[in-house]
Amino acid sequence: MCAATLLGWSISYTYGQLRTIAESVLPMRLAHWWPLTVYGPWFVAALSILRATVQRQPAPRSWGVLLVASAMAVLLCVSNSSRSLLAFVMLGIPPITALVCFWELVGQVSSKYRPQRGAHAQRSSSP
């Protein structure tokens, strides 16, 4: 629950940062939706990873898309900051936090769908 909450906060905070950056270059109506060019692929890749996890399949391409989108969010947020270390940290950490929280959620899902060795072995050996 905590990871899901922090994931939502991180994405909404970063979305706001990306929208603010876009407002300095794009018309307001377009700037409002522009962050979806970063987080659209992020969400699609995240859903693919969750599906693959439930089906016990690897998802290397989706993880690649997720990492690239996260890196792009970090770079865009940090590039618009004042050049201080504190600004880099304050604006760069939320996209990284979103990635880490998602990774933890996938770990929770994958542990739920792992076969239980002891229970299965005991059931199959009983008469």
Let me know if residue 98 belongs to a domain.
yes
Say how many domains are in the chain: 1
Q: What is the pLDDT of residue 119?
A: 52
Query: Model-level pTM?
Result: 0.78
- Structural domain range at position 23: 2-111
Report the C-alpha gap between 111 and 90 in whole angstroms: 32
Going from the C-alpha of 68 to that of each of 3, 5, 115, the distances in angstroms are 21, 23, 32
In a domain, 71, yes or no: yes
Reported as type and span, the H/E element at residue 119 is helix 117-125
Instruction: Tell whether 121 is covered by a domain.
Output: no
Q: What is the pLDDT of residue 60?
A: 95
d(CA 11, CA 101): 10
Position 78 in a domain: yes
Q: Is residue 82 part of a domain?
A: yes
Residues of the chain with pLDDT under 70: 113-127
At 8 the pLDDT is 85
pLDDT of residue 4: 81
